[in-house]
């Protein structure tokens, strides 16, 4: 039977935040991959452009990691509490 009240609201928020974090990370992922590819391609041709692509790649990669780490911590903190046994 489905729970009602605080537990179901907490679960909805918990899964909603995780879904939002994955969506934001997925949105940033293609540009991160593109910046990585452009960085590697520009290394031999134009080192100054390569540095720009490397910076963009690094910022996007760190942003994805931070978003997913915060989401994982919040997901863990909002987990259902174990019932105390008598």
| 45 in any annotated domain | yes
* pLDDT given at position 4: 55
* 80, two tokens: 């259902």
| 84 in any annotated domain | no
pLDDT tens digits, the chain, 86 residues: what are they? 455 556 688 888 889 999 999 999 999 999 999 999 999 999 989 988 899 999 999 999 999 999 999 999 999 988 887 767 66
| 39 in any annotated domain | yes
Number of domains, the chain: 1
Helix (H, G, I), strand (E, B) or coil at 3: coil
| 86 in any annotated domain | no
What is the domain extent for residue 23?
8-77
pTM, whole model, 2 decimals? 0.79
| 54 in any annotated domain | yes
Kindly give, in sequence order, each residue whose CB lies less than 8 Å from that of residue 49, ignoring residues fewer than 6 positions away.
42
* pLDDT given at position 8: 80
Q: Write the DSSP string, 33-82.
A: HHHHHHHHHHTTT-HHHHHHHHHHHHHHHHHHHHHHHHHHHHHHHTSPPP
* pLDDT given at position 1: 42
């Amino acid at each position: 039977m489905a729970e009602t009240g605080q537990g179901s609201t907490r679960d909805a928020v918990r899964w909603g935040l995780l879904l939002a974090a994955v969506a934001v990370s997925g949105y940033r992922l293609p540009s991160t991959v593109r910046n990585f590819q452009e960085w590697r391609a520009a290394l031999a041709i134009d080192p100054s452009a390569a540095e720009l692509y490397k910076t963009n790649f690094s910022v996007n990669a760190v942003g994805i990691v931070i978003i997913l780490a915060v989401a994982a911590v919040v997901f863990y903190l909002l987990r259902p509490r174990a019932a105390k046994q008598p």
